[in-house]
Amino acid sequence: MASKAIRTFLCVLVLVAGFAHAQDSTRPSEPNATLAAEHVARRADELRPSPAQLKWQQIPWLTDLAEGLQVAEREKRPVFLWGSDDEPLERC
């Protein structure tokens, strides 16, 4: 029981110390803030997908299986079926 109380005390201590640090921190100088903003912008540009990587968004995906089967039969195309019972990015 004592270890639970100690863990709780340490958690509260860390939270209080974090709030105190946030209160005491000064605003970064403008050159540093500008450099940080430029770095973030460059990094965002590096990570942004290219148009070639987004081509899959141009496919007219159907979310209704019956409609997809009708279209596939009419156009004599195969069906790509992807099923999931939860959010695909939930575990990331």
Delimit the domains of the chain by residue range. 2-75
DSSP 25-51: PPPPPHHHHHHHHHHHHHHHHHHSPPG
Cα(65)–Cα(80) distance, rounded to whole angstroms? 10
- Average pLDDT score over the chain: 78
Residue 88: pLDDT band with limits 50, 70, 90 = low
- Give the burial class of 28: count Cβ atoms within 10 A of its Cβ; 0-12 exposed, 13-18 middle, 19 or more buried: exposed
pLDDT digits (tens, 9 = 90+) for 8-53: 766 666 666 666 555 545 555 566 777 888 889 999 999 999 999 9
> Do residues 14 and 8 lie in contact, with contact meaning Cβ atoms separated by under 8 Å?
no
- Give the burial class of 17: count Cβ atoms within 10 A of its Cβ; 0-12 exposed, 13-18 middle, 19 or more buried: exposed
The model's pTM = 0.37
pLDDT digits (tens, 9 = 90+) for 65-77: 999 999 999 999 9
Q: How confident is the model at residue 29, as a pLDDT? A: 54
